[in-house]
Structure 1
Amino acid sequence: MLKTPVGDTRLRILAWLREPGRGEHGATADAVAARFGLPRPVAVTHLRLLTSLGLLHTASFVGRLHYRRDEVRIVQVARTFEKGW
Structure 2
Amino acid sequence: METVADPEVVRALRALANPVRLQLLAWLREPARHFPLDGGVLDVGVCVSHIQAKAGLAQSTVSAYLAELERAGLVRSTRVGKWTHYRRDEERIASLVSALGQTL
- What range describes the TM-score normalised by the shorter chain of this pair? 0.7 to 0.9
Structure 1 window deviating more from structure 2 (29-38 vs 18-27): it is 18-27
Partner of 2:45: 26
Where structure 2 has 5 or more consecutive residues not aligned to the other structure, the ranges are: 1-13, 33-40
Q: Given the two structures, how large is their TM-score scaled by the length of structure 2?
A: 0.68
Aligned residue identity for 1:19:
E
Q: Is the 8 A contact 1:23 1:69 kept in 2?
A: no
Provide the C-alpha distance between the structure 2 equivalents of 1:12 and 1:56, rounded to a whole number of angstroms: 13
Number of residue equivalences: 82
Q: For structure 1, list consecutive stretches of 5 or more residues without a partner in the other structure.
A: none
- State percent identity of aligned pairs: 32
Structure-1-length-normalised TM-score? 0.81
Which has the greater radius of gyration?
A: 2
Which SS does the other structure have where 1:12 is aligned? helix
**1:76 equivalent in alignment to 2:95:** yes
Q: Which amino acid is the alignment partner of residue 102 of structure 2?
A: K
Q: RMSD of aligned C-alpha atoms? A: 1.8
